[in-house]
Amino acid sequence: MRTWRAALVHAALAALILPVLPLLIWSFTEAWPWPGLLPTTFSLRAWRVAADADAGFLSGLAASCALAAVVTVISLAISLPLAELLGRGRFRGKAFVEVLAMLPLFIPAFVAAMGLHETLIHWGLADTYAGVALLQLVPTTPYMVRSLATGFALLGTRLEDQARTLGAGPWQVFSRITLPRLVPAIVLGSTFVFLASLGEYLLALLVGGGAVRTLPIVLYPFLASGDRAISSMGSLLLYAGPLVVLLVIDLKTRKYV
Amino acid sequence: MLAPAFIVLVVLLWTGLGIAFVRASGVYPAFGMVTPSGIFWREVLGDEAFGPSLWLTLRIAGLSTLAAAGLGTALAFLAAAWTKPTWRLRLLLQCPLYLPHLVAANVVILTLGQSGLFARILHLVGLAAEPADAPRLVYDAFGWGSVLGFALKETPFVAVLVYPFALAALATYGPVARTLGASLGGILRRIVLPMSWPAVATAAVITFAYGFSSFEIPSVLGRTYPKVLSNWAYELYTNVEAASRPRAMVVGLLVVGGNAVLAGVYFVLAARYDAMLTAIRAGKTT
């Protein structure tokens, strides 16, 4: 009784991810004429395009991963002090600070990017990865702040107080007590920020102005043109590769939860 | 120590919006416009594309939110009632959660487009001789493709937010209710649903806000006219005509306004979310 019900729930959840399967089939397809349920000829054409340096898919993936990694690290660094304040502090106006920190989740950053465009040109940040990274920090950092603030709230101050009583310095307390205990919150926040930056298209387009060639920018024209083998291969690169890496990280850090 | 976060979260965002507002109000020195005026606001609000665009945007955000909230809540309840919180369950919840918008759009084309898998299955059962006989779900006037794309993306998100509530409510009150003779259906309807509403409502507001402002899915799956507001703003922004830029800012700011209202609702609900979850776990809700 219990087993088939659990299986049913798992199947229903799996059904949400099942639509991804056609991506895999299409990426190996040469011809899939109507109304066949399976392709008539398979080929590695799309994956040869992936390996072709001129097509820009691999360099796009590398650029996207590097950009997402930079955005994640900066987001983590700038969020830690604010998250500690929100997670453990008690002060007047805390609710207001929380609202200010969470609002960028709701306010579409592309409108701010349109407003800032001339300023970015003036600073030499338009059409650069640095400019895209700066703007991508705006909508992604609230995830990091929220996740770290919860981590700080759960951590409390007792362990750190004890360490200080036993003579630990500020850096020792941070590196030996605070940081290891925050690992689950850091992993959660980093995962969200990394994935949000990785799949982000509009800011990379607006601020990057064609000079920034992240994977979504490389992929988009193929979605519109209808070369399904190529667009499916690109989609898999964007989705499956990073997903596997993140799930492994999730599995490895589970012991901390 | 707080300065960098302040610069990113407050200065960048609000300066950008402030400049966008100035440009929208007709002050755009780069294009030789120096006198403030409301003409671009009037032009956008009076544009014949405005009504259809707003209606399309609301329709896509509303319907995808309804679908995702219903399905996600049902999934979360069943997962809480019928399974244990294992890593496999988390994996199944997380995989679709991480789907990038462009990939979700591609998935919709491959499965629901007129030569996609769904149409081919219709052919198999004799309901569509040609691709054109299959229902037009992608590049359609109504926006079904975008509705389904967002629903696919947001259903697991709703499930993830509601699941801890369902789990806590069942753990705290499930055994008592069962002893008193309640069925599982009764427990879910009478106990778990009323206790989970802050989670369902919070998830729905976030989902609606994303559907209202998001760019990629309707950009890939939509028609050239009408466009959703964010797509329309981008089209105006990249138009070569000088007067187009301030109009783009107006459309963008309208999206900002809509989402600001949704954010207000979210902050009220989010306070309830935390308080309610704590109360349920402690068994203090009456």
What is the DSSP track for B175-211?
HHHHHTT--HHHHIIIIIHHHHHHHHHHHHHHHHHHH
Cβ contacts of B16 on chain A, cutoff 8 Å: 109, 111-116
Mean pLDDT of B135-139: 88
Q: Which of A75, A105, A111, A122 to mutate to test the interface with B (most CBs of B within 10 A)?
A: A111
d(CA B192, CA B142): 35
Residue A172 CA, distance from chain mean position: 30
Question: DSSP state, A52?
Answer: -
A223 closest CB neighbour out of B15, B102, B131: B102
Task: Quote the tokens at residue A80.
Answer: 């830690």
Nearest Cα to B229, choosing from B59, B23, B25, B21? B59
> Which amino acid, one-letter code, is at B215?
F
d(CA B17, CA B40): 16
Summarised one tens digit per residue, pLDDT across range B210-244 is: 999 999 999 999 998 899 999 999 999 999 888 89
* Number of residues that make up chain A: 257
B87 closest CB neighbour out of A113, A199, A254: A254
Query: Within 10 A of A170 (CB to CB), how many other CB atoms are there?
Result: 10
Residue of A nearest to B68 (CA): A16
Within A156-227, where are the H helices?
158-165, 170-173, 179-199, 202-208, 215-225
For position B285, what pLDDT does the model report?
A: 57
Question: DSSP state, B9?
Answer: I
Nearest Cα to A138, choosing from B11, B212, B216? B11
For position A256, what pLDDT does the model report?
A: 45
pTM for this model (two decimals) = 0.91
Q: Which residues 4-33 of chain A have a CB within 8 Å of chain B?
A: 5-6, 8-10, 12-14, 16-17, 19-20, 22-23, 26
Summarised one tens digit per residue, pLDDT across range A175-192 is: 888 999 899 899 989 999
Q: Kindly state the percentage of chain B with pLDDT values over 70.
A: 99
Predicted-complex ipTM score: 0.91
For position A257, what pLDDT does the model report?
A: 41
Q: Which of A107, A135, A244, A255 to mutate to test the interface with B (most CBs of B within 10 A)?
A: A107
Question: DSSP state, A166?
Answer: T
pLDDT class of B94 with cuts at 50, 70, 90:
confident
Kindly give the interhelix angle for B117-124 and B101-112, rounded to the nearest 10 degrees: 20
Summarised one tens digit per residue, pLDDT across range A57-90 is: 999 999 999 999 999 999 999 999 999 999 998 8
